[in-house]
Amino acid sequence: MKVAVVGATGLVGGEILKVLEERNFPVSELIPVASERSIGKKVSFKGKEYDVVGYDTAIAKKPNVAIFSAGGGTSLAIAPKFAEAGITVVDNSSAWRMDPTKKLVVPEINASTLTPEDKIIANPNCSTIQMVVVMNPLHKKYKIKRVVVSTYQSVTGTGKAAVDQLFNERAGKSEYDKVYPHKIDLNVLPHIDVFLDNGYTKEEMKMVNETKKIMMDDSIQVTATTVRIPTIGGHSESVNIEFENDFDLEEVRNILAQEEGVIVQDDPKNFLYPMPITAHGKDEVFVGRIRRDETQPNTLNLWIVADNLRKGAATNAVQIAEYLAKHQLI
């Protein structure tokens, strides 16, 4: 199968290449793609080096699938050109997520809605993906009414320049490129993406709107506060879920333990709970600190962690491509 990776020289693009290799995706020909300034650079895949090509060259090579991680502007401009050429696009940016004509897919939840006609498929926001993977089986059993989520998100979610800023600050450098409006090392920024007129950030509203679309239920109420913290390795979330029906804690743990792609780490007596440092490089979503909210009925508290570059981006995109290949949709 011919596979193009658009944005192959970026942080997520590199992770996509790694995930394709690790999961042994059936790549007969790899086509690494990037903007004009990166054409001619080399990327490694399965011990071999490949030259990065431009968009037109990639389209001419007619890949079966193109996994995009090149930013929203690029996706809006270039993805339709791939689609018009009959190439199925799996897009990591926010460009197509809320387009009513495009599917927003987390394979464990709604891959079954995909058809051969879906030529541009949106990959959800990283913080949304890990939350809905955990919430979906609980929603089926107890029916979610309302979710209050606070995130603790890694600088890797902003990209390589943000990681460089963190380590330049940690090294005590005075001259460095700043991605954030404030210092990030030894600090916390309650600010991810741009602020909107309603006082929320775009990231917060992504979690609100994407959750309803992925879970195909507009009745689920979500309110979010998204926060950037000086870590790498993964995003963490404190999630408070109110259900219509009551639950048994042991049953909740069993439901989650049986869910594909979820690992329960919930043994506080032995200090076992999810952390970015242990989620780093893993494809699963980790959940722990499972406990009843004692202030109101039918309400659960959870702590959810996942590597935002893996399940939050690259792995989810590759899983979509795997589903398309398995069901002969590409």
Positions marked active-site: 126, 235
125 is in an annotated binding site: no
138 is in an annotated binding site: no
Query: 9-12, long-range: CB within 8 Å, 24+ apart, which pairs?
Result: 9/34, 9/38, 9/41, 9/43, 9/52, 10/34, 10/69, 10/70, 10/159, 10/160, 11/156, 11/159, 11/160, 11/163, 11/309, 12/69, 12/92, 12/309, 12/313, 12/314
Q: Which residues pair with 288 in a beta bridge?
A: 303
97 is in an annotated binding site: yes
Q: Could you tell me how many residues make up the chain?
A: 330
Inter-residue contact 270 to 243 (CB < 8 Å): no
240 is in an annotated binding site: no
Inter-residue contact 135 to 144 (CB < 8 Å): yes
E strand spans, the chain: 2-6, 29-33, 42-45, 48-51, 65-68, 88-91, 103-104, 120-122, 144-152, 221-225, 235-243, 262-264, 285-292, 299-306
38 is in an annotated binding site: yes
310 is in an annotated binding site: no
Question: DSSP 3-state assignment of 136?
Answer: helix
The Cα 301–Cα 84 span in angstroms is: 45
127 is in an annotated binding site: no
296 is in an annotated binding site: no
State in Å, rounded, how far the first CA of the chain is from the last one: 9
Question: DSSP 3-state assignment of 241?
Answer: strand
315 is in an annotated binding site: no
The first and second tokens of residue 114, run together, are: 């995909």
153 is in an annotated binding site: yes
Phi and psi at 148, nearest 5°, equal -115, 115
The Cα 195–Cα 204 span in angstroms is: 9
Inter-residue contact 287 to 241 (CB < 8 Å): no
Which residue shows structure tokens 């990065």? 52
Which residues define the annotated binding site for NADP(+)?
Answer: 9-12, 37-38, 308
Which residues define the annotated binding site for substrate?
Answer: 153, 228
Which residues define the annotated binding site?
Answer: 9-12, 37-38, 97, 153, 228, 308
Which residues define the annotated binding site for phosphate?
Answer: 97
